[in-house]
Amino acid sequence: MVSSKLQAPSSKQTPSIKPQESSPAVFSLVWWEGELQEDVMVLREEPPRDSAAPHPFDLEERTAQFGEAIVKFSKKIPRNPTNNRLIEQLVGCGTSVGANYCEANEAVSKKDFRNTAGRCVKEAKETGYFLRMVVASEPQLAEEARKLYREAKELLLILSSMRKR
């Protein structure tokens, strides 16, 4: 006879799943913004703003816009074996800045937040690195890459200061 030492799960180990009180579901208006030439549709929760508007104060939105800009930029890079690897790396780290920031917002402790924000910082640094490598491979894309590099640097500084607090 095999004996096993199993304990009943405690409430600390298993989250309690309680349905919320009967509150009505509230949905925000969703606006679709499309570029007909590239057949790209972008989902936004508010109406489109003009491009001369300052950076959004909502860092989650700003990192999402940064990820979108990286994806659009990657489509302009000519395809060849060297560039394909750079594109994969650039899109991966450029979009994960926002994904990791969303995760950091849901952190359960200060330590968890610092750890996840630290990943955001690393991904922002990596994005700057791969933008530099793309420009080394394709110098004609330097001007657009420079704008993305500046944004990556700004996000890096913002996230670094948040992590230290």
Q: What is the tens place of the pLDDT at every residue in 83-119? A: 999 999 999 999 999 999 999 989 899 999 999 999 9
Can you say whether residue 66 is alpha, beta or left, with left for phi > 0 and alpha for psi between -120 and 50 degrees? alpha
| Averaged pLDDT score across all residues of the chain | 79
Q: How far apart are the first and last CA of the chain?
A: 55
pLDDT class of 19 with cuts at 50, 70, 90: very low
Query: Is domain 58-164 given the CATH code 1.10.10.60 in the classification?
Result: no
CA dihedral 97, 102, 107, 113 (to 10 degrees): 30
Joined together, the tokens standing for residue 96 give 């994960």
> Where do runs of H (alpha helix) occur along the chain?
59-74, 81-105, 110-137, 142-164
Decide: helix, strand or coil at residue 33: strand
Decide: helix, strand or coil at residue 18: coil
Domain ranges of the chain: 58-164
What are the pLDDT digits (tens) for 108-149?
A: 999 999 999 999 999 999 999 999 999 999 999 999 999 999
User: Residue 37 above 60 pLDDT?
Assistant: no
pTM: 0.66
For tokens 């499309």, what's the residue? 34
